[in-house]
Structure 1
């Protein structure tokens, strides 16, 4: 194909060509130029795309090389982020920081924590030394309390406190059950009351609606009556003004008429001619059939009298207004009759409503009296039943409390008696310390002796106590008690009693476990410590004669 330049260069031309031939030639040239331009634009677009692709590739390579350069210069931040992925605090602290600075900071933080750990270990060592010293002091104080101060054992106090707590819990439980039963009864009564009062409320609602309708009707009637009264007042005032004006006009007209009558009376003889008939009766003639007519004067007087009566009754100034006033009265009478019929109907409706209301009132009174009497009787019966049940419940709770207290006291007393007799019948065990004073030996024996678990079975406690008391009585019967031994025992008992009284006097707070305890009030009865000491002595002395082992 030839281009536009080639065609232009080697184009054919002729002087004989007309304008049309030249136009055709130029059209071909224009098409060739357009084809060349499109080809050139396509080449430019392809070249632009190729250059853009090369630029993007170069930018990617530059970015990658810069990242490699940053990693080489400042360290790998991605590695740091992966390393700090599980450590949120470190990730927030060293975000976008250099690797060497991060390492330096972490080493410094580890150094500070290591120093803090050493400081804590040193403090721990000091605290442990103080704790050991405190333990030694506590052991010494415990030994002093055990050896120098006597009293009840902690398990006994704990047992008594637990028993008291259990008893209080049972009392609270019984009280809660009683309250629950009482509230159930109250709910039943309230349900019955609600069913009764629902009927009464429905009846009252119906009555209220009927009374409301009645009041609305009465209000409407009152409003209509007031409107009618206002209309009548306005009409009467207007009529009064008109009557006054008509009276004034009538007086003025009468004056004029009287003046004319006087003038005519004076001038009447001059107006009538002499040759004319002066008798008006001659104007009426009798018919051939014999019928008579009234005279003109009589009829005129009758008509005038009737008109005057009508004028006087209608309260009008002229005879022409009589017909209008009669029409107005006829219209007003018809309207008033319609209002009267409407009011009569409303009155009948109100009378019927009144009768219905009276009937409903009588019905409600009768129903209310019957139901209220029945309700009051049932209420009194339920109240009496509730009072009886509450009294029985109080008596039962009181008896249960007394029985519980008695059982606790009996159990505690039996347990204390068994504790006092625990050394009776025990096997003879060689003493580890023989060259110590008797008081210290007794305290050591009391400490080393195992604390028995208290038993709650009454039969077992009583049988054990009976068996040990029999053994103790048999052993005592074989020992000779000299006056010196008796005096020493009494002196020892009085010392223990004085110490106990002094301790109780110094204590301001009474523990809960000591509220119920078994006390020996007889001064001739030895205390627990003396009984244990004597029992051990008897067992040691008489072990050759009898050896009683506690049955398991």
Structure 2
């Protein structure tokens, strides 16, 4: 029984010894790996310092990160500018819609006025055409009547010449035509029974002959037998001419009245047309001048809006860059939360991976933030004691930064983005690279010391 218990106890001790030996082996391996990790970390820090010294500025990854941040910032600025332009164009479209409705009404009014003017001109043209046709008809009738009168006058002149010729011929041959007869007492042949008086036949014959001669001379006939025919002809011609005279007088009076009415209507149409035309031309000139003034005002407004938008964008860009430069001013030194990740690795990861800064788009907030941080800087500078050595170091630091920026731009052939010079400044609240290296070294040594192999470890 005791032998079995001793065997069990011996086996337990042997198992314990094996486990401790295995634990010592693991601790030794861990110690070696920690030592190797520390050496690797120190080598990485030295390589980083050497790389920073050789490059003389930021790392390519940091440059890319800065470029990406600048691109994001520019994209946000362009987005804000696009939104501002969109709002501006919406307002312009509203104004143009109102102008379109206004000019549509004006155009409709002009169309109605044009139609009314056209109808008036067409009516005036038709009336003028009718007046001209009526005047041509009257001229044709007058010319026709004039020709008929001339023909009639020529015919009468020819007849008068023939009658004069016959009268002259009869006058010359009249003595040869007198018939000589015996004197006969004819007093008894005529007796007026009513008056119971007797007349001399010779005296009555002479009186009748005198009347006939006067009638012959007046009617221009060759014999006494044609006097009655000529008187009938003259009576007929007189009646015809009187009737024609009455008709012509009526036509003349109507033509005179029509001419007066046409002249009056022509003067009225001329005056009305000139008045309406002058009014239309004045209204047209006024509308054209108003349109030109509105067009110039619209162009000036667009130019002013464009210039204002450009100035606002430039101001926002400058303020965003100033706020980016002043981002570390007044930042509190917040302690890092405790995690399972070693602090050295956490510092290295945070240094390598930096978040893209968010760009503020509000103009008032940008101005307020920049004002507050600049006040903090001014207060900090007022509290500092600026000695000649500090001033010399600051001037040397500024020239070094300027020379580095010029060298980077010359080597990389890249134009510096933004309108401000980018520079780095040290903030006492933010740990520097040397402090971070020192802290990481201390943490590594502390962790390695925890896993050291104890001196009294059993060895087999």
TM-score normalised by the chain length of structure 2: 0.53
Q: Report whether the alignment pairs 1:529 with 2:423.
A: yes
User: Partner residue of 1:539?
Assistant: 431
The whole-number CA distance in structure 2 between the counterparts of 1:333 and 1:287 is 37
- For these two proteins, the number of residue pairs brought into alignment is 356
Say whether the 8 Å CA contact 1:243–1:316 is kept in structure 2: no
Q: Report whether the alignment pairs 1:302 with 2:207.
A: yes
The whole-number CA distance in structure 2 between the counterparts of 1:282 and 1:332 is 41
Please say which of residues 243-252 and 345-354 is displaced more in the overlay: 345-354
The whole-number CA distance in structure 2 between the counterparts of 1:237 and 1:288 is 52
User: Partner residue of 1:243?
Assistant: 160
Say whether the 8 Å CA contact 2:219–2:227 is kept in structure 1: yes
Q: Report whether the alignment pairs 1:222 with 2:155.
A: no
Picking from 312, 316, 333, the partner of 1:411 is 316
User: Partner residue of 2:397?
Assistant: 489
Picking from 311, 331, 334, the partner of 2:216 is 311
Picking from 336, 341, 351, the partner of 2:257 is 351
Shift of 1:226: 1.6
Shift of 1:324: 4.0
Compared CA separation, residues 180 and 456, structure 1 to 2 (3 A)? same
Cα deviation code 1:421-450 (max 9, x no counterpart): 456759996448xxxxxxxxxxx96xx755
User: Partner residue of 2:20?
Assistant: none
Compared CA separation, residues 205 and 351, structure 1 to 2 (3 A)? farther
The whole-number CA distance in structure 2 between the counterparts of 1:291 and 1:216 is 74
Shift of 1:416: 1.5
Cα deviation code 1:197-256 (max 9, x no counterpart): 766766666666555555544433332222111011112223333333444444445444
Cα deviation code 1:266-295 (max 9, x no counterpart): xx5xxx6xxxx7354555465777733443
The whole-number CA distance in structure 1 between the counterparts of 2:227 and 2:176 is 26
Say whether the 8 Å CA contact 2:164–2:220 is kept in structure 1: no
Compared CA separation, residues 209 and 323, structure 1 to 2 (3 A)? farther
The whole-number CA distance in structure 2 between the counterparts of 1:335 and 1:367 is 48
User: Partner residue of 2:151?
Assistant: 234
User: Partner residue of 1:455?
Assistant: 360
Compared CA separation, residues 501 and 226, structure 1 to 2 (3 A)? farther
Compared CA separation, residues 450 and 356, structure 1 to 2 (3 A)? same
The 5-angstrom pairing of residues 435-514 of structure 1 reads 449=354, 451-458=356-363, 461=366, 482=390, 485-495=393-403
Query: For 1:528, what is the secondary structure of its paired residue?
Result: coil
Q: Compute the RMSD of aligned alpha carbons.
A: 5.9
User: Partner residue of 2:183?
Assistant: 278
Picking from 181, 189, 192, the partner of 2:98 is 181
Compared CA separation, residues 242 and 299, structure 1 to 2 (3 A)? same
Say whether the 8 Å CA contact 1:418–1:461 is kept in structure 2: yes
Compared CA separation, residues 214 and 406, structure 1 to 2 (3 A)? closer
Compared CA separation, residues 398 and 214, structure 1 to 2 (3 A)? closer
Compared CA separation, residues 159 and 475, structure 1 to 2 (3 A)? same
The whole-number CA distance in structure 2 between the counterparts of 1:499 and 1:542 is 25
Say whether the 8 Å CA contact 1:247–1:317 is kept in structure 2: no
Query: For 2:361, what is the secondary structure of its paired residue?
Result: coil
Compared CA separation, residues 289 and 388, structure 1 to 2 (3 A)? closer
The 5-angstrom pairing of residues 370-449 of structure 1 reads 404-421=309-326, 430-431=347-348, 449=354
The whole-number CA distance in structure 1 between the counterparts of 2:105 and 2:141 is 54
Cα deviation code 1:401-420 (max 9, x no counterpart): 66644543342223223333
Q: Report whether the alignment pairs 1:326 with 2:227.
A: no
The whole-number CA distance in structure 2 between the counterparts of 1:340 and 1:285 is 47
TM-score normalised by the chain length of structure 1: 0.46
Query: For 2:208, what is the secondary structure of its paired residue?
Result: helix
Compared CA separation, residues 228 and 431, structure 1 to 2 (3 A)? same
The whole-number CA distance in structure 2 between the counterparts of 1:213 and 1:293 is 76
The whole-number CA distance in structure 2 between the counterparts of 1:303 and 1:361 is 66
The whole-number CA distance in structure 2 between the counterparts of 1:500 and 1:542 is 24
Query: For 1:529, what is the secondary structure of its paired residue?
Result: coil
Compared CA separation, residues 230 and 386, structure 1 to 2 (3 A)? closer
The whole-number CA distance in structure 1 between the counterparts of 2:391 and 2:311 is 39
The whole-number CA distance in structure 1 between the counterparts of 2:299 and 2:194 is 130
The whole-number CA distance in structure 2 between the counterparts of 1:289 and 1:468 is 161
Compared CA separation, residues 351 and 449, structure 1 to 2 (3 A)? same
The whole-number CA distance in structure 2 between the counterparts of 1:203 and 1:353 is 21
Compared CA separation, residues 376 and 452, structure 1 to 2 (3 A)? same
